[in-house]
Structure 1
Amino acid sequence: MNEPKRPVNIHKGYHAHVYFDEETVDFASRLCAEAGETFGLKVGRVHQKLVGPHTRWSCQITFSHKSFDAFIPWLDEHRGNLSVLVHALTGDDYEDHTTYAYWLGDSVEINLDGL
């Protein structure tokens, strides 16, 4: 099995999607809030439903290449066992969720049908 691609700082903008379930929702909520406060990042809703191409509950964090080098190692260290999709924001949703999709932890299936 191939190792998931690790995030690389080669794009201008990114989303990090923190995946969780009913057992980890409180931990994920605290993690996302702390990320927003610590790094001054925009944190989306903690979705306890499937949204977009995501096949698990998720919370989206928006950040730029300027925050990448501090934020990504922090997120990796603090995420516990949660999987995090980090993808580029190029304007091409399909490419962003395939070619430019990177992972902290285990990769999770993405539903590409609607992209």
Structure 2
Amino acid sequence: MSTTLKPAPVQALTTIFHYHAHVYFDAATREQALLLRERVAQRFAVDMGRLFEQAVGPHPCAQYEIGFEQALFGSLVPWLMLNRLGLPVLVHPNTDAELADHVDHTLWLGGPLALRTDSLAVSLQVLGQAAPRPVVINTAPLQDN
């Protein structure tokens, strides 16, 4: 008896509203995280989230979020690959599927961290949300990447 796996359905790129990059740090790497935060804000038009000095939501340690539009993916993510100052960075899309976005649809720069996924929704619509929180640009880039 053979087992045939049913392929997962193809998902359209139009299901992606925008992206997040989460930069993780601890007491020893806090200054690097702040420097990276400053460098990103100087170079990219992003939604720079607040600095969390402790674990919050699915994130297991101190972190901040960088929200960005799809058009920025091709420049911001490669820049982070080269300039993340050794910090772990989680990049994920924001779709209706919050849990899958953080677990299955991820890109890790540096080693992955174990996320606490019990707080993530399988579907935002089930919770009564039409979409993830929008990206609101709050940086004013001064220079090219």
Q: TM-score category by the smaller chain?
A: 0.7 to 0.9
Verify the 8 A CA contact 1:44 1:59 in the aligned structure 2: yes
Aligned residue for 2:84? 79
**Paired amino acid for 1:102:** L
Partner of 1:4: none
Partner of 2:54, secondary structure, is coil
Tell me how far apart the structure 2 counterparts of residues 65 and 41 of structure 1 sit (CA, whole Å).
Answer: 11
Give the alignment partner of residue 61 of structure 1, picking from 62, 66, 86. 66
Is there any run of 5+ residues in structure 2 with no aligned partner, and where?
1-12, 121-145
Other structure's SS at 1:48 match? coil
- Which fold has the larger relative contact order, with Cα–Cα distance below 8 Å and residues 6 or more apart in sequence? 1
Code of the residue aligned with 1:34 in structure 2: it is R
Return the TM-score normalized by structure 2: 0.69
- Counterpart CA distance in 2 for 1:37 and 1:68 is 16
Determine if contact 2:36/2:85 at 8 Å carries over to the other structure: no
What letter matches 2:60 in structure 1? T
Aligned AA for 2:79? W
Q: CA RMSD of the aligned region, Å?
A: 1.2
Q: Encode CA deviations 1:42-91: one digit per residue, 9 max, x unaligned.
A: 11111111111000110100012200111111111111221100011002
Aligned length: 106
Give the corresponding residue for 1:40.
Answer: 45
Tell me which of 42, 55, 60 is aligned to 1:50.
55
Long gaps (5+) in structure 1: 1-9
1:82-101 alignment runs, 5 A limit: 82-101=87-106
TM superposition shift of 1:12: 4.3
Q: Which has the larger radius of gyration?
A: 2
CA displacement at 1:113 relative to structure 2: 1.1
Question: Deviation above 3 Å: which 4+ runs of structure 1?
Answer: none
**Alignment-derived partner of residue 105 in structure 1:** 110
Indicate the SS of the match to 2:43: helix
| 2: CA distance, partners of 1:94 / 1:21 | 25
